[in-house]
Structure 1
């Protein structure tokens, strides 16, 4: 009987090992199995509305101008007063004065007769640049008295204002 017990015991061990191996293989094989499928969905995000009038343009001042005067270089500084980065793309200017019969046409911006209104403002030729909050950039241009062939006495003592339009 002893021989029978041994052989029965060996059979049980073999069966147990075989079962463990099958379970191990099944588990290992399961790690490499997968299903394929398609999916979809939606998400949402928002953007800020932005602010208007975030660019503050300030310009240096010219010395007193007169007929036959040479052009003076003026530097305008553009500052982003907003709380986000904005791109400055253009700075334009036009000229007004505090005197009757003396207007922008009595002056020159960058060598051309200065415009007299926002609608006709002349480009100062700024290079577009992203401006972070509180950052600045500059643009140089020239201002000159336009020596016309007509009497320009109305411009004597005039306060000349360079009006900037930034976008």
Structure 2
């Protein structure tokens, strides 16, 4: 070796963004994804009234997300350890965007279930990667912040998502499109 130190790509990115900025970015991804996951909930009553489906069908729509999330967490939980946090999060965010687009234009219960499954898979993959990234970028002088962010972020995101969506359903024009 010629005495040149080669930084891994993770270190170069850390220098550009900073540990604190990277931590905040990944925490916001975690909060945002969980906000998106709860956002469709207030719309289900509108869809149920418009499409005349049963309470059992509504339960299937809700459970499709939960099952897909569980499958993603169990099968892809360590994917970012092998492929890297960035590509896994990028793929999950693209899948989440596709799910949100599908929610904007559903034409029936099967489309709603498909959007929920896609959203569950994307959220499960992304929460694993974002949670791990929070641990990666935790300030060593302030230990425990990643644990707090991983504990509070999802709950805060879900609360914010359902509250914002409820306000839009109540007050915005064309709530299924807004």
Superposition TM-score, scaled by structure 2 size: 0.24
Structure with more of its chain in helix, by fraction: 2
Structure number with the bigger relative contact order (C-alpha 8 A, sep ≥ 6) is 2
Bigger CA radius of gyration: 1
Structure with more of its chain in strand, by fraction: 1
Superposition TM-score, scaled by structure 1 size: 0.25
